[in-house]
Amino acid sequence: MSAAQQPNPVSVLDGKYALLRELGSGGTGTVYEAENLIVGKKIAIKLMNAGAFSERESQARFVAEARAAARIAHANVVDIHDLGVSRDGVPYIVMELLRGETLEEVIDTRGPLAPAYAGELFLQVLAGLSAAHAQGIVHCDLKPANVLVTHPRPDRPLVKVLDFGIARGVEAAHRADQIVMGTPMYMAPEQVAGEPVDFRTDVYQACAMLFTMLAGTDPFEANTTREVMKLVAKGRCKDLQALAPELPSELVAVVKDGMAVKPKDRIQSAEELAERLRPFVSAAHFVSLVPHDRLGSGQPIPLIIGPSGEAQQPASRPDAQPSVIPVDMPRVARMRVTDSLLVSPRIPRAPSTPKLQIGQDFMPLPGDPDYQSMQNARRSQTHMPKRRSNFQRDVMPALVATGIGFGLGVILAWSAGLL
């Protein structure tokens, strides 16, 4: 990566991205540290080379493929925030700004990496590849310069795979009119020959990168690019065991199997490659990659609530092992969620949770299981007066009033001497 340089201080992309300084450049474009002027956040922007994307068709294909790459959404893949085409017709990608060293810089500085450390970094690369392959994306340009090692924690490096924005989908990669892209030193033989590529192409490039991590040097040695490509096509790489005699022969065999010339003879997936590396990585750092083709799209396994209220696994093969542990949920699974249920849930509670009593701390609402029983209990405990007859309610007050009035009239007549 080249030294940071200052671009034109007034360079503002699409009216909202201020380019602050150049971070590096390569065959596909130049990366700048930039600032989103709207939200005031630092980001990284990669301006693609205008010559490679001058035609409208190539720009449209770039945008479509970059959008697909943005959907990978994995911790070991650089996050893409935005993309577009500038007024000058230059495509660009807006990415998260990362602080760290490329794997190329790590190897140049420290030389060959210890197998355990190399395996820890490499498994994170495979995790990012596995997520991309699940989306149908092939990177096609894996190399140490496209892997960034960051350190959010001093004791645990975090690897980010870069340049997925120029990666290609599997369908597009099989088209005959695709331009051969990549770095010759890490190209797979099918790329050199101009043949279709697939996930196994990334497996080859990943193993070529692992070769460099373990040996501290490139897997091929030649004076020109053409000579390198000839060696790649014939599978004549350096002898890893001779370069690093201390490496276990089984680990050397993994690298060799991943760099087989014919894709059918190669390790077939990132998941298989990760499993082959299990013996050489400490258990604390081993990441088991889930084979996506066997476990589907990652949707949650549906649960069927049986008559007894237990969660049961859907019917499957007789020899299949149950992957769902039955859970005792006698009432919650069939109960409508109401306000009173939130106050006094019918599920096991923590010892420190206050125990609220129905009828004292809160009253159940209509529809709750305890509502009717509570209403019946209230009626039985409360005395209800007997209903009065029509005579008592209507006639008696009139008779009383008439008697009182007659008595008052007699008294007044007597006092006046009329009686």
User: Which residues are catalytically annotated?
Assistant: 141
Per the CB < 8 A criterion, the answer to whether 72 and 137 are in contact is yes
Determine whether 349 is exposed, middle or buried from the number of CB atoms within 10 Å of its CB (0-12, 13-18, 19+). exposed
Q: Choose among 139, 125, 76, 134: nearest CA to 292.
A: 134
Alpha helices for 259-385 (secondary structure H): 270-276, 292-295, 339-343, 371-381
Alpha-carbon distance of 23 to 10, in angstroms, equals 17
Alpha-carbon distance of 334 to 329, in angstroms, equals 9
Provide the 3-class DSSP secondary structure of residue 7.
coil
Alpha-carbon distance of 419 to 414, in angstroms, equals 5
Alpha-carbon distance of 332 to 303, in angstroms, equals 14
Provide the 3-class DSSP secondary structure of residue 307.
coil
Alpha-carbon distance of 118 to 246, in angstroms, equals 14
Here the tokens at position 364 are 């159940």
Alpha helices for 179-280 (secondary structure H): 189-192, 199-215, 225-234, 240-243, 249-258, 270-276
